[in-house]
Structure 1
């Protein structure tokens, strides 16, 4: 599984790169702040909402610390999606939030 650090993701965003970020935290966690543009799909719903995703795009998976996003990435990868896990999760994020 590919990984990126929070700093690497922030650098890509700052360079204007179009990223497809999925935040797998629960809704109440996301309400405290998420990476701008990230889509919230809680881990428990990934299996049921994967048909909303495009297999031609690469997705960066994010959670609080990197554990849940790793599980989500493994699940999506097993279904043929291109995924990257953001290690350290939002605990490591120093960029802007919305």
Structure 2
């Protein structure tokens, strides 16, 4: 499984890199803040919302501590998607949130 650290992701965003990010946390967790530009698809809804994810693009998966996003990566890789897990999750994120 491919991985990216929160620091690497923050640097890429600060440098203007356009990234596709999916936050798989629950509603009450994302209410506390999400990384700007991330799309919210709770982990349990991934199977029925695959039509919202473009197989021709790469995605960075985000959750609270990187456990659920890791499971999301495993599932999506099995479906043929190009995904990367943000290691450390939002607990390790020091950038801005919206």
Fold agreement, TM-score > 0.5: yes
The alpha carbon displacement at 1:22 in A equals 0.2
User: CA–CA distance in 1 between the matches of 2:9 and 2:24?
Assistant: 16
Q: TM (normalized to structure 2)?
A: 0.98
Q: TM (normalized to structure 1)?
A: 0.98
Q: Deviations over 1:49-84 (max 9, x none)?
A: 011110110000000000000000110010000000
Aligned to 1:28: 28
Aligned to 2:11: 11
Aligned-residue CA RMSD (Å):
0.5
Aligned to 1:78: 78
Unaligned runs of 5+ in 2: none
The alpha carbon displacement at 1:30 in A equals 0.1
User: CA–CA distance in 2 between the matches of 1:11 and 1:37?
Assistant: 15
User: CA–CA distance in 2 between the matches of 1:25 and 1:85?
Assistant: 13
The alpha carbon displacement at 1:33 in A equals 0.4
Task: Provide the secondary structure at the position in 2 that maps to 1:9.
Answer: helix
Question: How many matched pairs?
Answer: 98
